A and B are shown apart, each in its own frame.
Chain A
């Protein structure tokens, strides 16, 4: 009995952790290539949730099919963010970079509030609805789908970075943008690509979350703060680290909340993060 509950808790932690992983991977990809933290990442997630919602309400398109569309929309939005804003602060002080994306966060969040009010919206009756049972453990199908989506997207991204020439070019730019440019890589295009892909990760995560999580203007804020912790926990710019960090955060939240008090789950997340960086200031898998 108790064991089942624990298994249930660990499973849910793992599932939501994989969504954090996907978010964290997108964030850390952007950071790795140009040392900028995108504070608007959560708002991209939130916008993707709304894209999914409106496609569902207006055209009856199931989230399963709107997934590529919202990924594409967020890719374009991310690329535009680079081209219109980030390009101009690449060599600016860190604080100017922080505020450029922070301003964007405020802009997008309250734009969503003005356009669509603060009401909670939900998608009901999608193809994914329902739940499955594995050895006495019940799992929501949307959560399982979201976790699978997280794994598959991260795997594809990993393959892209390690196995294709374009991916190598991206990694080379992350390593040293001056040398990469000397080697004939169009770094400007690489930066745009990194922002596009990173934001598309948030887009995919947003659509997957929209199937089981309420949609509202501050939805991004709920997820993104702990995602920063996941990224820093894994080591800024480290894809594997972000993936592991995301899973750890999810487990900490759900299992910790279950063993202690659900309302203090995030205290645990932030506390563990502070403890880890006390021992390893560069994060779990980060390089100095």
Chain B
């Protein structure tokens, strides 16, 4: 089985960008650039965009853990995002609990939800699993829409706290602190993914993605490792949900439990390239500016024209580059294109 080759070896040959030192150097340069970004580009529009790109990188990386490495196509991740957002917001609004503690509580709630959703649905495969996660997502959306105590369909306006202190997780003078917070969160997701890639769990996940029955017959506890991946993914997604609530300061079931949200998390990862670290980040860097710019240029009249273009672009991308943008890079490193889904991560490009 070539799909689970040894990780961590220096690729002997191959183009220059596959060399280890090039990748590390590039990563460090990128990090310096990211740290300086708010001062290099002080325009509020770009700052907001950078924050959104990082938030979506985080969400894409989170989705990638179960969807990319584990191969379980979840279209219900908005559940975890919404639970993260709602838990911290309710704690803040009702009992003035710091959103940082609320974030931890939200992560815990999302982890429990991941177990509750994963345990029955991980027996399903392919489209049955995807539809089941949509069903789970819709159940949460309907319940929160009708849960008056939690704001019902209107949602929750978060109490404004002036003073711009880190402990309040609210910044009104400048949005720069949001940028650094979400940057740390995205880096956390990168670190988690990096560690997972090199762990036993990472190999098990890729093995069960490549061939579930073969992995099971070799003694991989399939459901347990799917659940582990789902919980990690849910926790990271919930953290993103709390960040969103604190950034926008308003949440409602239609924004944080939306099916479109689940789909976009998946889309970010797929667009960039599944089962790689770089994939979701590249996906977010392409998709979010694309969506924001079309919104600015075409959405001014409120007609939804930007979404027409957005939809069309999604179709075009999936037709012409089904392996994601990382696949574009990889295609040039080999004479023949590899199969898109089964083994993207193991080639050392990540």
Contact surface of A with B, Cβ cutoff 8 Å? 31, 35, 37, 85, 88-89, 92-100, 102-111, 113-114, 225, 228-229, 231-232, 236, 263-264, 266-267, 270-271, 273-274, 277-278, 281-283
Contacts and interface: CB of A to CB of B under 8 A. Distances in A.
Given A94-B73, A94-B126, A271 B134 contact: no
Given A104-B315, A232-B127, A273 B142 contact: no
B299 to A, nearest CB: 10
B221 interface: no
Interface in B109-142: 120-121, 123-128, 130-132, 134-136, 138-139, 142
A21 to B, nearest CB: 17
Given A229-B135, A232-B131, A267-B142, A93 B341 contact: yes
Contacts of B127: 31, 35, 37, 94, 232, 236
Q: Closest 8 CB pairs between A and B?
A: A103-B314, A106-B311, A107-B311, A96-B322, A103-B315, A92-B322, A270-B135, A110-B307
Looking at chain B's contact residues, the main secondary structure is: helix
B318 A99 contact: yes
B340 interface: yes
B305 to A, nearest CB: 5
Contacts of B266: 95
A35 B126 CA distance: 10
Contacts of A109: 307, 311
Instruction: State which size class the interface on B falls in.
Output: 35 or more
B270 A95 contact: yes
A219 B31 CA distance: 46
Interface string B131-164: 1101110110011011000000000000000000
Contact of B311 (A92, A93, A103, A283): A103
Contacts of A106: 307-308, 310-311, 314
B130 A107 contact: no
B322 A93 contact: yes
Contact of B146 (A92, A108, A111, A264): A264
A109 B303 CA distance: 12
Nearest to B340: A93
Interface string B241-274: 0000000000000000001000100110010001
A229 B82 CA distance: 22
B269 to A, nearest CB: 9
B274 A95 contact: yes
Nearest to A225: B138
B308 A103 contact: no
